[in-house]
Structure 1
């Protein structure tokens, strides 16, 4: 109950701040003393900070009222609350419509992301390496902190390593892997090659890593198989 009330206080500060304890008490139906207790806890946690609010009316004289706003950490904490809401919605969807409905949602979300990345990908042409670099650029624009770098160059295992240092649905995807699976499938579709997810933020790794294989291009000077009959075939004579 304490945690739920504290979350209500934090949400109210987000929506109405700068706001005083007395104003919060009126909005939430709590006593000013109870509100101040929650405000102190949130401030001690670095989620709120005090601002002076000029007194009006009968309070024009005396000390300015203390008003509260969210800190940057408070905004981040609130976004995590929205993650919890998203997880609740997907649980409800899975329970009442089945896991297939969650998969359908994840695939729709991935398609919408692909549409937003289309500009970069269309400009990149057909080269898989160029398209992967364009994909990384588009993901960066979307806030995924993405990068791409070549790996195993000059070997049969040559490819591009696509890394994402941030994921807006990391915590939700830990419970609903369909989100990661749909994203990887979308990568395969837009790049035209089967990709392999090697690591995931949702599984506790520090970055999402996807391997994108490059076409096996023969090295310069490499011999090619002859189409002529086998020269070692024994003379029938």
Structure 2
């Protein structure tokens, strides 16, 4: 099996979740027969597994997805060493010391993000740049704008997953970083979470009207303000 094809196949399953051989063939630009051969090879190595799903009338469709070993093929930022260091810090300096470490990392990360997002003048531009930064850090991030005007930031891989399981303050910190870097004009909510059993982390980002925006909208609803005029005095009849 060609290494490049294997990597592309694993990447497609990581980025989009379980898929049929036909869907994967369309993504990779190869035949479904070739994809099935590669999937069989990956399954033999324990990297993928399949699940048959019944969708309406007819035969079930076979979906292929990554196993735990398949997910482990992606970078994990030296997970074992990171977990050991976190445990050592907590053991030596206590919970307070670990919280100070998280706060220091949060401040440094936020400062770096703010420098990179400084040129973005719209919320869409900020979300786009944030997704790019997270991808550079190994999160395989993507973003989209939904019909209601909100945005989704989706992270298909968590390179700090082992550390986050050992210290969930890291996840809390990341949510705070997103909210801070996007500013008061956005509300950020985590809607999918790897640590809660989801296959990825996803965040809904909703625009928030500022005080100025609300004031302008209120004036539009009420109509333009008009200065009151006093009625001229009626001439006295003689």
TM-score range, shorter chain: 0.5 to 0.7
Q: CA contact under 8 A between 2:113 and 2:181: conserved in structure 1?
A: no
Asked if residue 129 in structure 1 is aligned to residue 124 in structure 2, the reply is: yes
Q: What is the aligned partner in structure 2 of residue 177 from structure 1?
A: 168
Partner of 1:224: 221
Any residues of structure 2 matched to 1:1-237 within 5 Å, and which? 82-125=78-121, 127-153=122-148, 158-193=149-184, 194-216=187-209, 224-225=221-222
Unmatched runs of 5 consecutive residues or more in structure 1: 1-44, 47-72, 229-237
TM-aligned CA deviation for residue 169 of structure 1: 0.8
Contact 2:154 2:202 in 1 (8 A): yes
Alignment coverage as a number of residue pairs: 153
Higher-RCO chain (CA-CA 8 Å, sequence separation at least 6): 2
Is contact 1:160-1:211 (8 Å) kept?
yes
Bigger radius of gyration, 1 or 2?
1
Native 8 Å contact 1:107 1:179 kept in 2? no
Is the 1:129–1:214 contact (alpha carbons within 8 Å) kept by the matching residues of 2?
A: no
Q: Tell me, in whole angstroms, the C-alpha distance in 1 between the residues paired with 2:77 and 2:134.
A: 24
* Cα distance, 1:85–1:200 mapped onto 2, change above 3 Å: same
> Scaled by the length of structure 1, what TM-score is found?
0.53
Point out where structure 2 has 5 or more consecutive residues left out of the alignment: 1-44, 47-68, 226-238
